[in-house]
Structure 1
């Protein structure tokens, strides 16, 4: 029988694999193409979902984000604040995310590995630990991880849809 943390780990594995599949064979122009003038392009969607996962998991793990520890911020060289994750970005900010598939794949592998490293030390009982008291009710580790998974899957699905339209 699988534990809850095994199931959560499997979900993050599938997200990582989905990222590899969705960017496979796409050029930087493909990754930046918008279906409509205000639609988020594949490259931005994938960068954003990885940034959210990296930021959120590092926060609950009490660890440094892979974005910084493995110098992905420098490699991406985006014109944003170093801790930007994509939340609240303008149309122009979204357009500034010009990336390659290889860059996204490398970052995805690092984020997925860091997520699994963290989960290896998490028991099912740990999932009840409160990690954010700003909400009513306070957010537990389990709820935060499921929230990240849900957000990642929405953006991955959007990216897959956009790729289908290319």
Structure 2
């Protein structure tokens, strides 16, 4: 492993730690609570950040998503197409996630995290400059895709932690 991938592994480890800290001990009702009429609940935020990570890592590895490979889609039993990641979801779609158990959210996230770290352990420094998405101008390199993924995941886990603080009134 090189210094760049070590930093990326550290970033994804921190995301996993924050997901676990944010979700552990919450009731399904807290996981589904919306602090405003159209606000995203903790459950949806964690599901979405995990789905996006799963989708993007599967795309760059050319492998099936953990979501389908390990039957998480069946366990969540959501009324969305299997490929849904939450992008473009309406307020009604967000509500459709319902009130999943903390262990379900954490289990899926840990599975995706393990896949991500396993992949990063094989990435060489030169791989980070490879184009992985030419639909953008400029085209997206692997390094840019991974950093973007870290940024999105950190943003959403921070939002989820903030909601937890509001719900628990800072008492835990």
| TM-score scaled by length of structure 2 | 0.94
In 1, Cα distance between equivalents of 2:12 and 2:65: 16
Instruction: Compute the displacement of 1:17 (Å).
Output: 1.0
Could you list the runs of 5+ residues in structure 1 that have no partner in the other structure? none
Q: Name the residue aligned to 1:139.
A: 140
- Map 1:1-166 to 2 at 5 A: 3-98=3-98, 99-166=100-167
Matched residues, number: 166
In 1, Cα distance between equivalents of 2:46 and 2:102: 10
Give the CA RMSD over aligned residues: 1.1
Could you list the runs of 5+ residues in structure 2 that have no partner in the other structure? 168-172
> After superposition, what is the alpha-carbon deviation per residue over 1:44-81, rounded to whole angstroms, capped at 9, x for unaligned?
00000000000001101111100011000000001100
> After superposition, what is the alpha-carbon deviation per residue over 1:104-148, rounded to whole angstroms, capped at 9, x for unaligned?
111011000000111111011100000001111110000000000
> After superposition, what is the alpha-carbon deviation per residue over 1:8-42, rounded to whole angstroms, capped at 9, x for unaligned?
11101110111110001101110000010010000
SS of residue paired to 1:131: strand
